[in-house]
Amino acid sequence: MKKLLVLLLISVSFGTQAQFLRFGFKAGPNFSNFNGGVSGIDYKGKTGFHAGALVQLKLLDNFALQPELLYSSQGAEVKDAGDFNLNYISVPVLAKFFVVSDKLSIDVGPQFSFLVDDTKLVYNQISGSESGESFDFALAGGLGVHLTKSIWVQARYTIGLTEASSSAEVKNAVFQVSGAFVF
């Protein structure tokens, strides 16, 4: 009888914890560009991707924290200069405010990104490293829709607050659309 009671308590504990702590994977396209810089230079958006893992910590009925660990391909095309590719390991830490309980959330928070690769392509030829800044701090905001308990879609805009390059006064701006599988 004691073994059955212990097993029941462990089962209830895992069920409660499953509501509090959830893990998942997400991926989708990035639509990035540069903000700022020298006037008269034309920046054209670049399409990349992001992929990684997330954890949701549901602290209240309508509030959760969602840290993520993502690989994010960003950058922009600069007219007459080339295609700038900046690849980051990004760590957004989002506060999720559910406006429709467990269905629709407003997500906001800081994002910390660490540069892992930066290249410049001129006429589709690699011209080498492009002195990208090793750290990028940004603010992120968007919406999340939980289609089912395990399938989510998210849209987010991230605006850089620090310069993306040491050779130009530009900041990252990224719009992301994500699909997520959470268990």
Minimum mean pLDDT among 9-13, 88-92, 149-153, 177-181: which range? Answer: 9-13
Average pLDDT, the chain: 87
Name the pairing type of β-strands 63-78 and 43-44.
Answer: antiparallel
Would you say 72 and 50 are in contact if contact means Cβ atoms under 8 Å apart?
A: yes
pLDDT in tens, 132-173: 789 999 999 999 999 999 999 999 999 999 999 877 789 999
| Number of Cβ within a 10 Å radius of residue 14 | 9
Kindly report the length of the chain. Answer: 183
Residue type, 15: G
Q: Would you list the domain boundaries of the chain? A: 21-182
Fold of 21-182: Porin (2.40.160)
Tokens read off for 66: 């969602």
Give the SS3 label for residue 116. strand
Report pTM.
0.85
Average pLDDT over residues 110-118: 96
